[in-house]
Homo-oligomer: A and B are copies of this chain.
Amino acid sequence: MADDLSVVNSARVSFAKSSDKIDDAGIGLINFLMREHHGTPFEHNAFRFHVKTPIFVAREWFRHRVGSFNEFSARYSEMPPEFYVPEADNVRRQTGKPGSYKFEPLGDEAVRENARRAMSSSIKQSIRMYNSLLHGGVAKEVARDVLPVAMYTQFYWTVNARSLMNFLSLRLPETALLEIRQYAEDVEKIFAEQMPITYKAWIDNGKVTP
């Protein structure tokens, strides 16, 4: 239900007008709305995503309150043994000061591979304990306490374009967590495909949420 026309028509209801398609005036209107931070016309649409992410990414994602979520439940279903470990290039160290932290690759290739392998091995040990607890009759909702935040979860997310732009403006910048940034880039692509004129106006106005 996401298209640029919904933006134009919900804005034009102010003048009791509507259109069947977007012309130059419509494009101009979308730019105007974006520039002047008239946000509500960007809400009359909906995107629905089925997302699979590590828990620590989902934790940041669910902080976005304007939108709807339904998530996999580890109370009632067994967690699949799937987990995230960063690519070697993304095993990073933190530099800089509070408020302006930077991240760069840690040591050399061997150091990073080593860290990856250590993480992976620790997570696998936790998964083995999870399975062992389940096998011993412990409830899923208890056994999962030992599982790390690197485990994959999945969820449905339904959101309108305005809230989606807010998500992108917070989760695309360099300061955002690398792992959520990668998801935000995919969300950005889908947004650009579905609402190309709105997307262009958003880019042209500095990626600020209207």
Binding site for B on A (CB under 8 A): 1, 6, 9-11, 13-16, 18, 32, 36, 40-41, 43-46, 48, 50, 54-56, 59, 62-63, 65-66, 68-77, 80, 84-86, 90-94, 98-99, 101, 103, 106-107, 111, 115, 118-119, 122-123, 125-126, 129, 132-133, 136-142, 144-150, 154-156, 158, 160, 177
Do B145 and A85 touch (CB < 8 A)?
yes
- Counted per complex, copies of this chain come to 4
Residues of B within 8 A of A155 (CB): 13
Residues of B within 8 A of A90 (CB): 142
Residues of B within 8 A of A50 (CB): 13, 18
Residues of B within 8 A of A66 (CB): 65
Do B154 and A54 touch (CB < 8 A)?
no
Residues of B within 8 A of A54 (CB): 145
Q: Which of A56, A123, A150 has the most CB of B within 10 A?
A: A56
